[in-house]
């Protein structure tokens, strides 16, 4: 029982020691960071050039915000004109599409007619030739 108690106390001692060391190093790290941040803030307060630079950035950001707002208003005013233009382009494209489809149908019909005009005499000549070859060479079919 005493050995178990001794092992437990050693584990507690090691745990407390490790935690204490961890807290100490965390304290040192945060203390260094806070010291650096404090010195930088003090330098910003002392340096008038830095304050002027920050003030200039503040003015620039306010101007950018106002320009953004004005641009947003102009875009809202321009939106109906843009929608009308899009509608006009859509109607024009529909008209062009219909005309192109009609032209394609006419081209298909014309090409069919040309094919028929060319193919009928060619088919007739081929049929005539086949008939003549049967009449001239009846022996080859009998064999």
Q: Is 14's pLDDT higher than 70?
A: yes
Q: How confident is the model at residue 19 (pLDDT cuts 50, 70, 90)?
A: very high
pLDDT at 140: 52
Of residues 16 and 121, more confidently modeled: 16
Domain layout of the chain by residue ranges: 54-134
The answer to whether 17 and 23 have CB atoms below 8 angstroms apart is no
Query: Two tokens at 14?
Result: 């090691």
- pTM reported for the whole predicted model: 0.39
- Torsions phi, psi for 76 (to 5 deg): -65, -35
pLDDT of residue 9 exceeding 80? yes
Share of the chain above pLDDT 90, in %: 48
Determine the Cα–Cα distance for residues 46 and 40; give it in Å rounded to an integer.
Answer: 10
Residues 6+ apart with CB under 8 A from 44: 50, 51, 54
């Amino acid at each position: 029982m005493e050995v178990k108690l001794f092992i437990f106390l050693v584990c507690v001692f090691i745990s407390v020691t490790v935690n204490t060391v961890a807290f100490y190093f965390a304290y040192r790290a945060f203390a260094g960071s806070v010291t650096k941040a404090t010195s930088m803030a003090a330098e910003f307060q002392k340096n008038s050039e830095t304050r002027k630079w920050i003030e200039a950035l503040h003015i620039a950001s306010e101007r950018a915000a106002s320009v953004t707002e004005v641009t947003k208003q102009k875009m809202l005013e321009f939106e109906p004109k843009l929608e009308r233009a899009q509608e006009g382009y859509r109607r024009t494209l529909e008209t062009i599409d219909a005309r192109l489809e009609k032209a394609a149908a006419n081209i298909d019909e014309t090409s069919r007619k040309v094919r028929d005009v060319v193919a009928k005499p060619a088919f007739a000549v081929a049929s005539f030739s086949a008939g003549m070859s049967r009449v001239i060479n009846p022996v080859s079919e009998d064999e």
